[in-house]
Amino acid sequence: MLDINLVRSNPDLVRENIKKKFQDAKLPLVDEVLDFDRKNREAIQRADYLRSQRNRISKQIGMLMGQGKRDEAEAAKQQVKDMQDELADIEQKEVEYAEEIRKRMLVIPNIIDDSVPIGRDDSENVENERFGEPVVPEWEVPYHVDIMERLNGIDLDSARRTSGNGFYYLKGDIARLHSAILSYARDFMIDHGFTYYVPPFMIHGNVVTGVMSFAEMENMMYKIEGEDLYLIGTSEHSMIGKFIDQMLNEDELPQTLTSYSPCFRKEVGAHGIEERGVYRIHQFEKQEMVVVCKPEDSMKWYNKMWQLTVEFFRTLDIPVRTLECCSGDLADLKVKSCDVEAWSPRQQKYFEVGSCSNLGDAQARRLKIRVKGADGKKYLPHTLNNTVVAPPRMLIAFLENNLRADGSIRIPEALRVYMGGKCEIR
3-class secondary-structure state, position 347: coil
Q: Identify the CA nearest to 121 among candidates 324, 272, 280, 330.
A: 330
Helix intervals (H) in 127-232: 144-150, 156-162, 172-191, 205-211, 214-220
The pLDDT value recorded for residue 15 is: 97
Whole-model pTM: value is: 0.89
Question: Average pLDDT of each block of 10 consecutive residues along the chain (426 residues)?
Answer: 93 97 97 97 93 85 77 81 90 95 94 96 95 93 93 93 92 96 98 98 94 78 93 95 97 97 78 62 94 97 98 96 97 96 96 96 96 95 97 92 95 96 94
Strands (E), 283-423: 283-293, 320-324, 336-344, 349-358, 370-372, 378-379, 382-389, 409-410
Other residues' Cβ atoms within 10 Å of the Cβ of residue 411: 21
The pLDDT value recorded for residue 270 is: 45
CB 261, CB 198: distance < 8 Å: yes
The pLDDT value recorded for residue 271 is: 46
Q: Which residues contact 263 (CB under 8 A, 6 or more apart)?
A: 232, 233, 234, 235, 283, 284, 285, 286, 390
> How many residues in the chain?
426
Strands (E), 125-171: 126-131, 154-155, 169-170
Question: Between β-strands 255-264 and 378-379, what pairing exists: parallel, antiparallel or unpaired?
Answer: unpaired
C-alpha neighbours within 13 Å on the C-beta side of residue 107: 17
CB 380, CB 364: distance < 8 Å: yes
Domains of the chain: 4-105 (1.10.287.40), 122-425 (3.30.930.10)
CB 331, CB 342: distance < 8 Å: no
CB 117, CB 128: distance < 8 Å: no
Q: In sequence order, what are the beta bridge partners of 337?
A: 357
The pLDDT value recorded for residue 57 is: 85
